C-alpha cells in the first residue's frame, strides 16, 4: 500500500503565536545596538495519516507554541555564548568593546545559542518543540520558522526518521 505524506502548517501571524523581544547582535553595524522585533512562530509537520484521518492534532501544537512564545515575550533575549556576558544573582551584565549593559535578571532570557539571530532562534525553537513533544512514528519531519517581522525570517528542519 502506498502511503502519502501530508504537510500540516500553522502560521504564527494568523494564529497569534507571536512574541515581542529585544536583542543585540555584537559586531553588526546596525543590529549591534539593542533593538527589538515583533516575532511570529510557524510550524510545518509532515507525516502519514493515522486511521482517524489526522496527521497530527493542531490543538496541542498551538498550545505548546503559545507557551513557548509566552516564555520569550517581553524579554531581552541573550545568547549564552555571547562574549562579555556575566550572569549574576540578580542581574545580567554584558560588556562589548566600548558598551556596557546591565539588565535585571528577571527581564532576560539566556538562550543556549551563540547569537540571537532568526536562524538560531528557528533552531532553538525546533529543539524545544522536539524536546517537549512526543511525536508519533508516522511524523516524518518537523520544520520551525521564526519571523522577526512579516515576510522576513528563517526556518529549521529536522527529519525524525533518519
- Domains of the chain in start order, with CATH, are 6-76+114-159 (3.30.479.10)
Question: Which one from 35, 74, 106, 132 is the annotated catalytic residue?
Answer: 74
pLDDT the model gives residue 98: 84
Whether 88 shows a pLDDT value over 60: the answer reads: yes
Confidence at 3, pLDDT banded by 50, 70, 90: low
pLDDT the model gives residue 162: 66
Question: Which one from 23, 37, 42, 148 is the annotated catalytic residue?
Answer: 148
Share of the chain above pLDDT 90, in %: 73
Confidence at 73, pLDDT banded by 50, 70, 90: very high
Active site residue 148: yes
13 compared with 137, residue with greater pLDDT: 13
Active site residue 31: yes
pLDDT, tens digit, 9 for 90 and up, residues 26-57: 877 888 789 999 999 999 999 998 888 888 88
Q: Which residues contact 97 (CB under 8 A, 6 or more apart)?
A: none
- What is the arithmetic mean of pLDDT over 116-138? 93
* From 15-24, 96-105, 144-153, the region with the lowest mean pLDDT: 96-105
Active site residue 74: yes
Amino acid at each position: 500500500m502506498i502511503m502519502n505524506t501530508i504537510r500540516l502548517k500553522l502560521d504564527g501571524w494568523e494564529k497569534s503565536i507571536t512574541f515581542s523581544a529585544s536583542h543585540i547582535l555584537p559586531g553588526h553595524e546596525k543590529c549591534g545596538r539593542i533593538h527589538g522585533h515583533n516575532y511570529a512562530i510557524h510550524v510545518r509537520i509532515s507525516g502519514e495519516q493515522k486511521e482517524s484521518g489526522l496527521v497530527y492534532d493542531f490543538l496541542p501544537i498551538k498550545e505548546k507554541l503559545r507557551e513557548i512564545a509566552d516564555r520569550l515575550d517581553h524579554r531581552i533575549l541573550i545568547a549564552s555564548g555571547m562574549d562579555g556576558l556575566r550572569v549574576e544573582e540578580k542581574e545580567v551584565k554584558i560588556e562589548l568593546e566600548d558598551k556596557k549593559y546591565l539588565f535585571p535578571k528577571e527581564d532576560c532570557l539566556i538562550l543556549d545559542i551563540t547569537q540571537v539571530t532568526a536562524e538560531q532562534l528557528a533552531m532553538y525553537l525546533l529543539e524545544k518543540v522536539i524536546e517537549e513533544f512526543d511525536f508519533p512514528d508516522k511524523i516524518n519531519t518537523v520544520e520551525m520558522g521564526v519571523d522577526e517581522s512579516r515576510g522576513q525570517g528563517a526556518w529549521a528542519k529536522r527529519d525524525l526518521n533518519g
